[in-house]
Chains A and B, each alone.
Chain A
Amino acid sequence: DAGVIQSPRHEVTEMGQEVTLRCKPISGHDYLFWYRQTMMRGLELLIYFNNNVPIDDSGMPEDRFSAKMPNASFSTLKIQPSEPRDSAVYFCASSLGTTYNHQPQHFGDGTRLSIL
Chain B
Amino acid sequence: QKEVEQNSGPLSVPEGAIASLNCTYSDRGSQSFFWYRQYSGKSPELIMSIYSNGDKEDGRFTAQLNKASQYVSLLIRDSQPSDSATYLCAVGGGGADGLTFGKGTHLIIQP
Contact = CB atoms under 8 A, between A and B. Distances in A.
Contacts of B98: 33, 45, 48, 56, 59, 99
Interface in B1-50: 31-32, 34, 36, 42-46, 49
Contacts of A44: 101
Of listed A44, A59, A100, residue having the most chain B CB within 10 A: A100
A99 B97 contact: yes
Chain B interface residue count: which class? 20 to 34
Interface string A40-62: 00111100101000011001000
B49 A102 contact: yes
Contacts, number: 62
Given A43-B88, A45-B99, A56-B96, A102 B51 contact: yes
A110 B40 CA distance: 12
B31 A102 contact: yes
Given A102-B51, A104-B49, A48 B97 contact: yes
B104 A110 contact: no
Contacts of A45: 98-100
A103 B96 CA distance: 13
B42 A99 contact: no
A108 B45 CA distance: 9
Nearest to B36: A107
A10 B87 CA distance: 24
A108 B32 contact: no
Nearest to A91: B43
Interface of A: 31, 33, 42-45, 48, 50, 55-56, 59, 91, 98-110
